[in-house]
Amino acid sequence: MMEKKGVFSRKWIVRAGKTLGMFAAMMLLAVVFDRLRLRQENTLMVFLTGILVIVVETGSYLCGFVTSVLCVGVFNYFFVEPYYTFYISDINNVISLAIFFIVSIFAGMIASRLQQQIYLTSQLEKTKAEIEKEKTRSMLLRSISHDLRSPLTGIAGSSSFLAENYDTIPREDAVALLGDMEKDANSLIRMVENLLNMTRIQDGRLVIRKKREVLDDLVSDAVSRAVKKGSTHKVVLTPDSGILLVPVDGQLMTQVFVNLLDNAVKYTPGGTTITVRTILSEDGRSAVITVADNGPGIPPGSIDHVFENYITGAGSDRGRGLGLGLPICRTIMEAHGGTISVHNAPEGGAVFTLTLPLSDADTEGAAGAQLKSRGGIPV
């Protein structure tokens, strides 16, 4: 109880200090106006403006009311004949002071209500943001539980079957089961990496450590991680004729390529060809990467939303429930000053196009502009 009283007292001490400081400034300006022999109406406007500023700055109507009373007394005592007395000989001055007092009271009330309205609006926005954040968290938890269950169930089932039939199971079947376990484990690893990156992005803790990397080496590394031996999908790499060096965080950029390749594998049937092409842009300032497949493509109703959280392929069990891969790709690309887009090829299949600046100056400028246009994602 004592602590609350102390906080209350400090708050009002601060308000009183602000009020006295601004009242002193009003008095100083009023004296200047009087020395310059300006009309009394100008001095009254100084006091009225000061009252409004005090109400806004202190957030207290009481401070504004007390200041109004003080202004009436001070104006009458120092600036109205006869000076240095509260006696008023001219009825016009009485009317002017009465009007000033009434106007200052109403102006203070309006300013105070506006302050309260602004505060309530900000609190409402915070409440809405918290509700939206809670909905997002609940959706994320539901998606995570679904995504984790499938590979974990596969790993648990395969390992249990191997343990129970270790002496009798044929070697070929054992190798196939181990391959399935490895595939599910790699899927879990990619899922955890995406979750960690998304958490860092939302908390503003995603750190970009750039150094010049060979673009084709990053793509090859991503292919080896996303598409394992024995996969029915075929990956075709078409590198640029020259060596493309890009200033990137190699780990994060590899994660972008892994997410795109993993997305292509999950949403296309077996036997689909995935083509990854790297070229130099026409102006020579950027590297352009395309990841294309000849699968069914993206449904027209989803193509404008594929980079939003929790968007997965409609009607596909293989899509699972967590759509973090592509939103993370977009954020990482924009943090590097690059771009990412997608369209369906006329002959069928989805085509993801990425651009990466080749110089650090272009990277920083483009990244700042893009992040600012999206409200600012701390990186």
Q: What is the pLDDT of residue 175?
A: 86
CA dihedral (221, 222, 226, 230) positive or negative: negative
Instruction: Evaluate whether 376 touches 203 at the Cβ level (below 8 Å).
Output: no
pLDDT at 79 over 70: yes
What is the residue-averaged pLDDT of the chain? 79
What integer is the mean pLDDT of 81-107? 78
pLDDT at 323 over 70: no
Maximum average pLDDT range among 110-124, 210-224, 320-334: 210-224
What pTM, to 2 d.p., does this model score?
0.54
What integer is the mean pLDDT of 270-284? 92
Q: What is the pLDDT of residue 7?
A: 47
Instruction: Please identify which residue in the block is written with the tokens 């990466």.
Output: 356
Phi, psi of 352 (to 5 degrees): -100, 130
Q: What is the pLDDT of residue 217?
A: 94
pLDDT at 63 over 70: yes
Q: For residue 39, how many C-alpha atoms fall within 13 Å in the half-sphere facing its CB? A: 4
Q: How does residue 321 score in pLDDT terms, banded at 50, 70 and 90?
A: very low
Phi, psi of 336 (to 5 degrees): -95, 5
pLDDT, tens digit (0-9, with 9 covering 90-100), for 336-347 = 999 999 999 998
pLDDT, tens digit (0-9, with 9 covering 90-100), for 284-309 = 999 999 999 988 888 888 888 888 76
Q: 172 or 353, which is more confident? A: 353
Q: 61 or 272, which is more confident? A: 272
pLDDT, tens digit (0-9, with 9 covering 90-100), for 134-154 = 776 676 666 667 667 777 888
Instruction: Return the percentage of the chain with pLDDT > 70, whole number.
Output: 83
pLDDT at 16 over 70: yes
- Out of 18-22, 32-36, 115-119, 233-237, pick the least confident: 115-119
Q: What is the pLDDT of residue 320?
A: 36
Please, what is the end-to-end C-alpha distance for the chain in angstroms?
A: 42
